[in-house]
Structure 1
Amino acid sequence: MSTTPVLALTMGDPVSIGPEITATTLAEFAGTPEHHGIAVGDRVALQKAIEALGLDVEVRTVESWDVPSAGKGVIDVFDTGVLGDDMPEWGTVDGRAGRAAITAIEVATRAAMEQQVAGIVTGPINKEAIWAAGSKHLGHTEMLGELTGVTQQDTMFVVRNDAHGGHHLRIFFATRHTSLRKALDAITVETQIDSIERAHRALQVFGVEQPRLATAAINPHGGENGAFGDEEIEILRPAVASVNDTGLGIAGPIPADSVFHHGLIGRYDGVLSQYHDQGHIAAKTYDFDGTISVTVGLPILRTSVDHGTAFDIAGTGTADHGTMRSAYLAAVDYAPFVDGIRAEYLPR
């Protein structure tokens, strides 16, 4: 593979805003010598998106990943050809669109596993559409796990603060898609230690040699020594103490109303959020369009938009491509660490 990072951008559901935000992102960076993005999906969807956007670009179909960029004004697409010329209506749940989205993910992931591309950037998919196409997966994460042979994955949000020299705050999650009540039950000393160790190691794999990781508290004011809850006393502090006995130097638990701010201004490289909304609200309130998701635990580099298909505006040419742009640039930033990612997470 060329020393210039080649990145595969899956368009997601072809009747969502995915093709539009992919086209806008690739049009902006077309001809950039430091990196080369290639859309993956149905050419017909990309072409229709370009028409909806009114972009003055050409589309070039490529059959190899090792192809130089054609320069400004040309967008490359690896055409999966699922839909042919029969594209469903914009903004509709359709099994054909689901199959097209699945195929793009499979093609891009295979290219990454075979080291033909440096990483993949994924657009939004619709769960009903992929289920209508026969998929049994809940979404991207489970699908990528099966395709790469891994069973344990973590989400790492990346939030960039340009006001502090472009500092990157990474947010990890001790629990994810579960109710708050169940999430609290799932946090034990053992699971907290495991979450801390995985987050610390992920920071190293993604280029932070000496990570400064903090854990967020669960209760208001960190529990006020038990007045507002005892999870900090009985679970979080013992877990932090245990890992610090091994020399990791983890901070916390720190009240959630301040720890993310401290991270954003550069005091920490990463923060372990204890439950889904704790970290999501902090990141998205600060920068909704710039917050992107990196899947940790895969033997490939995968960044992603962190929003849905927006069927209500699909095909109107009004979709904001900010998150796709950020996800693409994050993949460019992390491309130098692909060998380490593969070595760390490739199933043995």
Structure 2
Amino acid sequence: MTTPSTCYAIVITMGDPAGIGPEIICRAVAAMSPAERATTLLVGDPAIYRRAARSIGAELAFTPLDEAGEATSVAVAIVEVPEDVEIPDGRISAGGGDMAFRCVETAVKLVQDGRARVIVTAPLNKAALHEAGHHYDGHTGMLAALTGAPSSFMLLASETLSTLHVSTHVSLRGAIERVTETRIIDTVEAGHAHLVAMGVAKPRIAVAGLNPHCGEGGIFGDEDTRVIAPAVHTLKERGYAVSGPISADSVFYRASKGEFDLVVAQYHDQGHIPVKLIAFDTTVNVSLGLPVQRTSVDHGTAFDIAWQGRADATNMGSAIAYARRLSDVAAGAESRASQP
């Protein structure tokens, strides 16, 4: 039995139940050992999870937490967020968007209350989210708003290549406007702190250029020399092992061969395309700069194959594994802080 003071290693949100979230969560939970299930907390509607388990032929038990917070170690514990309107399978709906939001909102509260350490999110649909009246650019913006964080950063982490983004879900024009010295410095510092916490003693960080060939001395734009280079210079003066700007057509290849531990990309597609090309199934989306820790799958709701028993849970497994590493780091820090 767990006790009321139990802090679960991870809490997993359902995502949009019209998509593949419930299915990939159930596949991942079914693959866990009893000990792993005992440190896992789900958020969502138990009836939806039971249906998902049946659809993949998994024998799973979902034990709602009572007021004492007790759950058996042979079943996965769940905090219920009920389906209050019918949500159609495989379609955008306000009900699905609202369910996804309420699950994340609940998970944030659980972490803030010390009941869980790291949030793992299943995919949501941004159009459904907006249809429900929750106008966020996705999970990262939602988490920033729910926790009152002034900013956040999106890390795509894989064994071969990892990228951290100066900007993400904005237009290309808007992304260019966000390339500022302050934002670049903040991004590098957030990435450095994360890698150190994960055991990289002196992270080697490359900063990608914005323009082709870093502007070719101003021929193709001056942001690289006017903005990015001064930011890199400041970071070097602060003692960071940072290089750049390096032309984006070579820096990701160099990082994939082991020259750098992290590449700071200037905008969404610049960083997403190379990572997904190299490690689409195992890349984990990690939110940095928030007062809560969160990992996620790096794919969408896949409405076209939802509720057909076909969804692959490999990426969810990777997100859960990374979250457990984060939880171990946090637990270690808690233990050290409690020692006299």
TM-score (structure 2 length as normaliser) = 0.86
**Size of the alignment, in residue pairs?**
329
Q: Is the 1:205–1:340 contact (alpha carbons within 8 Å) kept by the matching residues of 2?
A: no
Change (3 A) 1:34 1:266: farther
Q: Distance in 2 between matches of 1:134 and 1:59?
A: 30
Q: Is the 1:16–1:90 contact (alpha carbons within 8 Å) kept by the matching residues of 2?
A: yes
Which SS does the other structure have where 2:190 is aligned? helix
What does residue 338 of structure 2 align with? none
1:312 alignment partner, one of 304, 307, 310 = 304
What does residue 288 of structure 2 align with? 296
Query: Residues 264-300 of structure 1, C-alpha deviation per residue, up to 9 Å, x if partnerless?
Result: 3332221100111110001100011211111111111
**How far 1:211 moved relative to its partner?**
1.9
What does residue 47 of structure 2 align with? 44
**How far 1:33 moved relative to its partner?**
4.8
What does residue 166 of structure 1 align with? none
Which SS does the other structure have where 2:255 is aligned? helix
What is the percentage of aligned positions where both structures have the same residue? 36
CA RMSD of aligned residues (A): 2.6
**How far 1:87 moved relative to its partner?**
4.4
What does residue 211 of structure 1 align with? 203
Of 128-137 and 112-121, more deviation after overlay is shown by: 128-137
Q: Distance in 1 between matches of 2:45 and 2:317?
A: 20
Q: Distance in 2 between matches of 1:132 and 1:183?
A: 25
Counterpart of 1:210, as a letter, is: K
**How far 1:2 moved relative to its partner?**
4.8
Query: Residues 170-214 of structure 1, C-alpha deviation per residue, up to 9 Å, x if partnerless?
Result: 311112222323322432344433333333334334443322111
Which SS does the other structure have where 2:191 is aligned? helix
**How far 1:26 moved relative to its partner?**
0.8
Which SS does the other structure have where 2:292 is aligned? coil
**How far 1:340 moved relative to its partner?**
9.3
What does residue 17 of structure 2 align with? 14
Counterpart of 1:56, as a letter, is: E
Query: Residues 72-111 of structure 1, C-alpha deviation per residue, up to 9 Å, x if partnerless?
Result: xx4443222234xx64331123333333222211211111
- Can you give the 5+ residue segments of structure 2 that lack an aligned partner in the other structure? 335-340
Query: Residues 210-259 of structure 1, C-alpha deviation per residue, up to 9 Å, x if partnerless?
Result: 22111112233444445554433333222211221222231122222332
**How far 1:17 moved relative to its partner?**
0.6
What does residue 73 of structure 2 align with? 69
Q: Distance in 1 between matches of 2:137 and 2:176?
A: 23
What does residue 337 of structure 2 align with? none
Q: Distance in 2 between matches of 1:143 and 1:35?
A: 28
Counterpart of 1:252, as a letter, is: G
Q: Is the 2:155–2:164 contact (alpha carbons within 8 Å) kept by the matching residues of 1?
A: yes
Of 246-255 and 322-331, more deviation after overlay is shown by: 246-255
Work out whether 1:105 is the aligned partner of 2:104: yes
- Can you give the 5+ residue segments of structure 1 that lack an aligned partner in the other structure? 162-168, 343-348
What does residue 194 of structure 1 align with? 186
Q: Distance in 2 between matches of 1:236 and 1:292?
A: 27
**How far 1:151 moved relative to its partner?**
2.1
Work out whether 1:173 is the aligned partner of 2:165: yes
Change (3 A) 1:278 1:114: same
Of 26-35 and 310-319, more deviation after overlay is shown by: 26-35
Q: Is the 2:37–2:73 contact (alpha carbons within 8 Å) kept by the matching residues of 1?
A: no
**How far 1:132 moved relative to its partner?**
3.7
Q: Is the 1:15–1:45 contact (alpha carbons within 8 Å) kept by the matching residues of 2?
A: no
Q: Is the 2:156–2:285 contact (alpha carbons within 8 Å) kept by the matching residues of 1?
A: yes
What does residue 256 of structure 1 align with? 248
Of 21-30 and 176-185, more deviation after overlay is shown by: 176-185
